[in-house]
Amino acid sequence: MVAVSSDMSGRGMVEPREITLHGHRVSYRAAGTGPLLVLIHGIAGSAATWDEVLPWLAERYTVVAPDLLGHGDSAKPRTDYSLGAYASAIRDLLGVLGFERGTIVGHSLGGGVAMQFAYQFPERCERMVLVSSGGLGHDLHLLLRAAALPGAEWVLPLLCSSTLCDAVDGVARFLGRAGLRAGPDLEEIWRSFVSLSDSDARQAFIHTVRTVIDIRGQRASAGDRLYLAAELPTMIIWGEHDPLIPVAHAYSAHERIRGSRLEIFPNAGHFPHRGDPRRFVEMLVDFIQSTAPARVDEQTWRERLRAGGRPR
Active site residues: 108, 242, 270
Yes or no: say if 236 and 261 are a contact pair by the CB < 8 Å rule. yes
For CA atoms 270, 276, 281, 282, the dihedral sign is: negative
